[in-house]
Amino acid sequence: MELAHISDLHVTAPLGPWWGLLNKRVIGALTLLRRAHPHAVMQAAVDDLRAAPPDHLAVTGDLTNLALDAEFARARDYLAAVGLPPERLSVIPGNHDGYVRGPFRARRFEHHLAPLLGLAPDALAWPRVQRRDGVLFVSISSCVPTPWFTAYGRVEAAQVAALRAALLADDAPFKVVLVHHPPLQGHGGPDFIWRRNLDGRAIIDACHEGGADLLLCGHTHAPFRLQVPGGARPLVISCAGSTTKRPRALGAAATYNRYRIEGGRLLEVEVRGYCPEQGRFVSLRRESP
């Protein structure tokens, strides 16, 4: 199986009435001034995936910038344009998709994304469990509204227990977990407290107990990969960074990963990056995990 992994799309849309910004959204709106996530890069990522469709596509959150309905609709349209059927998609929310309480409580992410995933809005819940071609996918949500100037994630105990149960219940040769906030950073320790996954340790323990092989995440906008020993199988944590962040140089940002999984093993990771001169994604390197 070839598994593509994109993340932190931060799709923007017109802001709507000014009173919609009288909350934490005003901070996120400032990033619009920097045009940090150009639509041209998002479109190029869609084109790249369409040109060589993966067997499965994982999207690890922050589809939107301010959790506006117009942003959700645009992000969904971009993902739909990739052309993969629902059973070949795993999509989770990030902290920006629950940026303020209203959209989070109203389940706007689930409302907009469920049709793309072949589900009724009420049927999209976390964890979401899928199995395809000998690979198990367990998608969990660490998305919670947080106070101003914080971006931490939480995965409540019941969801961690359900993650562990889902992993243990399936004897798939290869098991993949999706969560937006990395349980650990590339240096092997947790992130700053104001933006870390507060339940990272519990998630890693569940992954180790349940025999997860690969944990896909985003959030930090800087890609990394590390192995976490301690379980029955080695767990690889892979952060995709941001697929749409404007790159200062080829490979400095705007990358995504394609994993080759065969015989229950992760054999190779191809990193693809947006080339500003060519206006398209190109292969940067192929690595062994």
Measured in degrees and rounded to the nearest 5, phi and psi for residue 73 equal -65, -40
Residues binding Fe ion: number (CB under 5 A): 2
Choose the stretch contacting Fe ion; rule: CB under 5 A; options: 3-11, 35-43, 144-152, 167-175.
3-11
CB of 159 to Fe ion, least distance (A): 21
Q: Is 71 in the site for Fe ion (CB under 5 A)?
A: no
How far apart, in whole angstroms, are the C-alpha atoms of residue 33 and residue 31?
Answer: 5
Identify which of residues 8 and 191 has a Cβ nearer to Fe ion in the complex: 8
Q: Is 8 in the site for Fe ion (CB under 5 A)?
A: yes
How far apart, in whole angstroms, are the C-alpha atoms of residue 54 and residue 27?
Answer: 36
CB of 62 to Fe ion, least distance (A): 3
CB of 209 to Fe ion, least distance (A): 29
Q: At a CB cut-off of 8 Å and minimum separation 6, what does 23 contact?
A: 100
Q: Is 191 in the site for Fe ion (CB under 5 A)?
A: no
Structure tokens at 47: 């084109």
Identify which of residues 27 and 123 has a Cβ nearer to Fe ion in the complex: 27
Identify which of residues 48 and 62 has a Cβ nearer to Fe ion in the complex: 62
Choose the stretch contacting Fe ion; rule: CB under 5 A; options: 61-69, 114-122, 123-131, 159-167.
61-69
CB of 218 to Fe ion, least distance (A): 6
Cα 131 from chain centroid (whole Å): 18
String of DSSP letters for 209-264: HHT--EEEE-SSSS-EEEEE-SSSSPEEEEE---SSSPPSSBTTB-EEEEEEEETT
Identify which of residues 208 and 238 has a Cβ nearer to Fe ion in the complex: 238
Give residue for tokens 């977990």.
177
Identify which of residues 8 and 110 has a Cβ nearer to Fe ion in the complex: 8
Closest C-alpha to 145, from 186, 106, 118:
106
CB of 229 to Fe ion, least distance (A): 28
Structure tokens at 229: 């020993």
Structure tokens at 48: 């790249």
Choose the stretch contacting Fe ion; rule: CB under 5 A; options: 59-67, 128-136, 152-160, 180-188.
59-67
Identify the residue among 48, 62, 71, 199 touching Fe ion (CB under 5 A).
Answer: 62
CB of 96 to Fe ion, least distance (A): 6
CB of 66 to Fe ion, least distance (A): 12
Q: At a CB cut-off of 8 Å and minimum separation 6, what does 214 contact?
A: 174, 175, 176, 177, 235, 236, 238, 259, 261, 266
Binding-site ranges for Fe ion (CB under 5 A)? 8, 62
